[in-house]
Amino acid sequence: MRVSFCCTGTTAQPWLDGLRAALPGAVVEVWSAGAAAADHAIVWAPPQQFFDEQTGLKAIFNIGAGVDALMKLRLPPEVPVVRLDDAGMSVQMAEYVCHAVIRHFREFDGYESDMARGEWSYRKPRLHADFPVGVMGLGVLGARVSRALAQFDFPVLGWSRSAKSIPGVQCFSGEAGFNDFLAATRIVVCLLPLTAETEGILRHDTLSRLQPGGYVINVARGRHLVDDDLIALLDSGHLAGAMLDVFRTEPLPEDHPFWKHPKIAVTPHTSARTLREESIAQIAAKIRALQNGTPVSTLAGVVDPKKGY
């Protein structure tokens, strides 16, 4: 068995060492132009040339949960694409989102500003019931985030393309449930996959439907958000603030208004990072399962090309 590793911007050697240990007997190599045909591919932001040459693949494994960039390439027909379905990212994401929600709810951002000015201040405690949190996207990450938020007694709502059921979460689904979801939400968290249908979903008309004093947390993809619409709603006072981890251009350009806007906090796409050891173990287990005849349809994380995730 031959495994080809083609991950742009990734230090290859630790991955190769881990994969070789997890797949004894397999040939695991970094791809270069003209390389021998591989049985399986492990990729992140690969060039089109990789797939043009590697026409005999049995499966493609993406070392991340998001596959929007991969779906834009011409992939070998009928070859399954398998994304990471957790690999330690869901706990990181739950930590980040809970931090962002609590920071806003408890007004810790205001305290930080006051303390920086040497001001000893006090703010009246607010009620959890007044800050319903709506999570857009209820996959592995979204479900974990929703359950974590519920532990802090926030009313938690969820919206997804298809109907879901999560204990302690009021679930909405489809186009029919979208407006009701927004109207019931004060803090919105975007964890949707990026598709043609979800690009620009955080725009003026949707964000305007949030309850007054709404707050936006985007940890999915920068292209979910229409930047100018967010700023306009912040400046009008309809939205109270935003915490953003993803952007249309990364790194965020030095002259982008998000940097200096007083109601926006930014972080450098760090809400949930790929954990190498966990990812290697997950990918290797799936490769072994395929080699042993397990149907690909039974694997977690198989991407539906029609949906794009």
Catalytic residue chosen out of the listed positions 2, 203, 209, 269: 269
SS3 156: strand
User: Distance between CA 146 and CA 137 in Å, rounded?
Assistant: 10
Residue 142 tokens read as 């979204």
CA angle 206, 208, 210 (to 5 degrees): 85
Amino acid at 67: V
| Letter string b/e over residues 78-116, b meaning 16 or more CB atoms within 10 A of that residue's CB | ebbbbbbbbbbbbebbbebbbebbebbbebeeebeeeee
Catalytic residue chosen out of the listed positions 221, 238, 256, 261: 221
- Yes or no: say if 292 and 278 are a contact pair by the CB < 8 Å rule: no
Q: Which of 274, 273, 223, 265 is nearest to 245 (CA)?
A: 265
- CA within 13 Å, CB half, 100: 28
Q: Which of 69, 83, 7 is nearest to 44 (CA)?
A: 7
Does 224 qualify as catalytic in the annotation? no
- Yes or no: say if 291 and 278 are a contact pair by the CB < 8 Å rule: no
- CA within 13 Å, CB half, 213: 7
What is the separation of C-alpha 288 from the centre of its chain, rounded to a whole number of angstroms?
Answer: 27
Does 223 qualify as catalytic in the annotation? no
Residues taking part in catalysis:
221, 269
